[in-house]
Structure 1
Amino acid sequence: MTKFFGVLLAAALLFWMATALFSGAADAASGTGTPGTAPGSADAISSAPGAVSKEAPGGEHSGEGGGSAAPRLSRSGVRLHIFKDGEMDFQLLRSFGADFYGGGTPGEILLAAEDIADGDPASWQASFATLGARLEADGESRLAKGNRISARDSFFRAASYYRAAEYYGDQLDEATRALGMSCRETFLKALKLSGWYVEDLRIPFGDGFLPGYFIRSGAPGERRRTLLAQSGFDGTAEEMFFAAGRAALERGYNVLLFEGPGQAGLRRFVPGSTFVPDLGPVGRTLLDTVRARSDVDGTQVILYGASFGGYFALSAALGEPRLAAVIANSPLLDMNAYAVATMGEQVAAQFEANDLSVEDLKALPPEAMPPKYRLSLLNLCLRFGEPSVKTMLHRLKDFHISPEQLATLSMPALGMVSAGEGAIPLEQSRAFAAAAPKATLHVFERESGANAHCQLDNPPLSAAVLFDWLDEQLR
């Protein structure tokens, strides 16, 4: 057990890196990081201090501004201060973020928070699982009485709460998978009461399939613009409905919400699925699928990726001229550089010298490592298909998109990032804007009220920027 104590500090710092890198986003660095600010309208396509934004090929400008330097990495520029634990405080903000498009209510979420012990994953999971079950039962009761709209709303909220419970689950525990399936089932119940046309898809891929939901508001055979939307490390297709899918449907789009290799929604069916660095085959499969449909305008298919999905979307768009546009929120280009810069060279060296295997992590008692760190490290190793923390970090080197690759993107490309996320996401976003020929970079400044990773604290503004930009590009 000696090596366990020798790497506890490194493990804690890696947990901070992991949650900031791949999830939906908290101020894991300091708990309260205050980003630098720059003048200008929150709705302007602009850049943070020193950033570059290209609104058209060859057109660029540098942001001007002052303020204190942003932290290297931050899950959000604002805090709720309901929990002292920064990650848990962010996850609560993440749940609040789904409220605008029907994924929760403040009263229900705050009630669940009362039963959660600060920093304790088990109590979080139990509280949100209980809330999800209560809303599911409420939906069934209302549906039995013929109150379809009320039932739909309860099912949508239940799905969102089951996802929140799934987040803090042990990936090796069948109970976590069951929560994920409950999320799917209640989400489908809600969709079937929505008035939209819905298909629960199993898209053939390799020796298996990719799960997804195809949703349209138009008539059969009416060809419409179509958004393909994907989340990141721990997000789900259901969460993407509240982040962008419902906003797209309101604007007349078709929506395909899908899960790729290694993502939570696919692992519900295939627990051994792991992330892959090249999403080209996934992108081609999806495009072949939707372009064959009579209700899709094949010239107006857009790919959108959130969080780690920003990397996935850009990877899938490389060498794919059939896409009308690609959006990365945010444009993550180099996972290993992201991780090492966040951890620091000393911590990275500790993991080189004192590795922790998956078996070590399974056996660690709570007194040797807090459960939240153990679960995070274990989750990272499992999702990247690696036997240890050290090999997982080495594997991240494969998740890299070079400036030369970005230069081959033939379609308009939008990068979205919140200034409150810190210097590292801003640096990678600027690199994206400088290299992609038709790139636009939108930085959400503090005064916009969109200070969290993926703008989870302000989904309607995020949607306005995304879809208004698409209107300009595809008119």
Structure 2
Amino acid sequence: MKTGKTHIITIILLITIIITVSAGCTDNVKQSPVSPADNTTESSILVFADQEFAFQLMRTVGSSYSGEADVGECLATASRIKEGDFESWYSEWKKTAETFKAAGDESLAAGHKHTAMEAYFRAATYYRTAEFFLHGNSTDPRIIETWEKSRETFRDALALDAVPHEIIDIPYGNTTLPGYFYMADNSGTIRPLLIIQTGFDGYQEELHPYAMEGIKRGYNVLTFEGPGQGEVIRVQNIPFRADWENVITPVVDYAVSRPDVDEDRIALWGISLGGYLAPRGAAYEHRISALIADAGTYDVGENLMQNLQKDGGADLNMTKEDLREWLQTDPAEFNDAIRSAMAENTGTRWMNENGMFVFNVSSPALFWAEWMDFSLVGTAEKIRCPTLVCAGSSDHFDPDGAQARELYDHLTCEKEFVIFSDDYGAGSHCQLGAFAQSFGTKFDWLDDTMGTGE
């Protein structure tokens, strides 16, 4: 790449891309069943004017659907947080988490196990929320401390729950990946398996509500964390990798080794960045019999290039490889521009801080160089199983569902595309905060595809 263009490229990236790029067959396109297809209204801002704070609050409030948060507790906590202040966010959610962890301990000591379980589930959610914005300093000891409290409290709740489960270790190279295996019952009956994974910023404990919906419908459910996620980045220091098939295959190997898994009926559901990771895995792992990309993501690098060329920041002869090579030089002008944007915008700050954390790199440019490898170009066509691609009409990580649509358009398998509208609050990223609509639509598709229908 010609060095004389770098300043222009930096400015265009800054203005048109960094804030907008996420994480996040038969031809059958559907709208979510409650609203018209042309709805693109933004979700209502909740408490905060800051978009990222409002969305993360909605994410936490949404856990109320499964009893793993409570609306009043969330709103009261949010009312004490200083807008856009990461330290205030951490301290107030941590206080709330500790309050309900102590309440759970008190209930358990008094013999009220069910009340204790409920308090522990809520406390685990609040610890997880507290940790969310801490990643600007990867050596901050509160990252591990708060993550550990969230997981420990979650497991305290699980120990009191009647749902059969196992805490599992999945062989992966010379180490293991952490997971949970939830069973519909204790009979050992062979059942269809639903594998659920998170994305760019989640813990697998956040997937517990999804797992509970699965077992209600007769599935056994496996959740796990891979490179760049949860324990694997925080404790094992293993960063994200784009070739996620090398993660999914060991997970499926573990699954089919179990006597209670129907190896002919294994579904994979990827949430947020999982909407890239799961399709990438399914493209090469053909033991997957159904796939949900939630929300679908096709190609980060291509999206960058299209925006550059559209806005005049790159000539038509510049390739993704040119841009990647430039970013790999760790250009100071790019980093300076991005850090300036981070100082002005909470979402930009969080995305880049978290990106550097989960990729284990030291600058925004090196994060974006790694991020560009996340592409399904030439790969989406390899997916053989029926696939549901989801998008939200007001998803701020994928405006207009462009990435989801591109993934859908490149699939050659049996496929379906669902756009969730915001008429009743389901238009946001991964339908967080609208679980009733989300679960109803996605599990109905899965039941029909897997032949369960429970």
Question: Would you say same fold, with TM above 0.5?
Answer: yes
- Displacement of 1:62 in angstroms is 9.2
TM-score (norm 2): 0.84
Residue 125 of structure 1 pairs with residue 101 of structure 2: no
When the two chains are superposed, the root-mean-square deviation of aligned CA atoms in Å is: 3.3
Task: After superposing the two structures, state which structure 1 stretch, 190-199 or 440-449, moved more.
Answer: 440-449
The letter of the residue matching 1:436 is T
Match in the other structure for 1:396? 371
- Pick closer, same or farther for the CA change 1:323–1:109 going to 2, 3 Å: same
> Matched residue of 1:377: which SS?
helix
Matched, 1:258 2:259: no
1:405 counterpart letter in structure 2? T
| 1:208-227 map, 5 Å | 208-227=175-194
Equivalent residue in structure 2 for 1:301, among 266, 273, 280: 266
Most deviating of 116-125 and 419-428 = 419-428
Contact 2:272–2:430 (8 Å) recurs in 1 = yes
CA 1:327–1:261 in 2, change beyond 3 Å: closer, same or farther? same
For residues 270-281 of structure 1, the aligned pairs below 5 Å read 270=236, 272-281=237-246
Show the counterpart of 1:283: 248
Provide the rounded CA distance (Å) in 2 between the counterparts of 1:203 and 1:368: 37
Structure 1 residues 182, 376: closer, same or farther in 2, change over 3 A?
same
1:100 corresponds, among 35, 60, 65, to 65
Alpha-carbon separation, structure 2, partners of 1:239 and 1:303: 16
The equivalent residue for 2:438 is 462
TM-score (norm 1): 0.80
Alignment partner, residue 22 of structure 2: 21
| Pair 267,273 (structure 1): closer, same or farther in 2 beyond 3 Å | same
In the other structure, the counterpart of 1:109 is 74
Work out the CA distance in 2 between the residues paired with 1:128 and 1:82: 15
Residue from 427, 445, 450 that aligns with 2:421: 445
Cα pair distance change 1:61/1:127, threshold 3 Å: closer
- Closer/same/farther in 2, CA of residues 62 and 458 from structure 1, 3 Å limit: closer
CA-CA distance at 1:102 after TM superposition = 1.6
Aligned to 1:356: 335
The equivalent residue for 2:7 is none
Alpha-carbon distance between aligned partners in 1 of 2:37 and 2:171, rounded to the nearest angstrom: 51
Could you tell me how far apart the structure 2 residues matched to 1:144 and 1:120 are? 37
Q: Using the aligned pairs only, state the percent identity.
A: 29
1:49-448 superposed matches below 5 A: 57-60=25-28, 77-170=42-135, 171-242=138-209, 244-270=210-236, 272-339=237-304, 354-356=333-335, 369=343, 372=346, 374=349, 376-402=351-377, 404-421=378-395, 424=399, 426-434=401-409, 435-448=411-424
Aligned-partner Cα distance in 1 for 2:26–2:15: 44
Return the letter of the residue paired with 1:80.
Answer: I
- Matched residue SS, 1:400: coil
CA contact (8 A) 2:239 2:359 kept: yes
2:448 paired residue number: 472
| Secondary structure, aligned partner of 1:355 | helix
Structure 2 runs not aligned, ≥5 long: 1-9, 315-322
Distance of 1:8 and 1:186 partners within structure 2: 45
3-state DSSP of counterpart to 2:343: coil
Cα deviation, residue 320, structure 1: 1.6
Counterpart amino acid of residue 90 in structure 2: Q
Contact 1:355/1:388 (<8 A) preserved? no
| CA displacement at 1:455 relative to structure 2 | 0.3
1:40-85 per-position Cα deviation (integer Å, ceiling 9, x unaligned): xxxxxxxxxxxxxxxxx4444698x8858x5xxxxx9312341121
In structure 2, relative to structure 1, the CA distance for the partners of 1:323 and 1:133 (3 Å cut) is same
> How far apart in 2 are the matches of 1:368 and 1:260?
27
1:390-435: CA deviation from partner (whole Å, max 9, x where unpaired):
2322222211002x42222111111111112266462222222232
In the TM superposition, what is the alpha-carbon distance from 1:216 to its structure 2 partner? 1.1
Structure 1: gaps (5+ residues): 1-6, 24-56, 71-75
Tell me if structure 2 keeps the 8 A contact 1:227–1:303.
yes
Does the aligned pair in 2 maintain the 1:280–1:316 contact within 8 Å?
Answer: yes
Provide closer, same or farther for how the CA distance between residues 66 and 288 of structure 1 changes in structure 2, counting only shifts above 3 A. closer
Number of aligned positions between the proteins: 423
For the residue of structure 2 that corresponds to 1:278, the secondary structure is coil
Q: Hey, what does 2:3 align to over in structure 1? A: none
Note if contact 1:415-1:429 (Cα within 8 Å) is conserved in structure 2.
yes
Report the secondary structure of 1:431's partner residue.
helix
Task: Determine if contact 1:233/1:264 at 8 Å carries over to the other structure.
Answer: no
Question: Is the 2:67–2:122 contact (alpha carbons within 8 Å) kept by the matching residues of 1?
Answer: yes
The 3 A distance-change label for structure 1 pair 58 and 221 is closer
Structure 2 distance, partners of 1:202, 1:163, is 22
Q: Which amino acid aligns with 1:203?
A: I
> Which residue identity does 2:371 align to in structure 1?
L
Structure 1 CA distance, aligned partners of 2:59 and 2:216?
Answer: 22
Q: Spell out, residue by residue over 1:117-167, the C-alpha distance to the aligned partner (whole angstroms, 9 max, x if none).
A: 001011001111111111111111111112111111111111111110111
Decide whether the 8 Å contact of 1:413 with 1:436 is kept in 2.
Answer: no
- Measured in 2, the distance between the counterparts of 1:214 and 1:459 equals 22
CA contact (8 A) 1:417 1:443 kept: yes
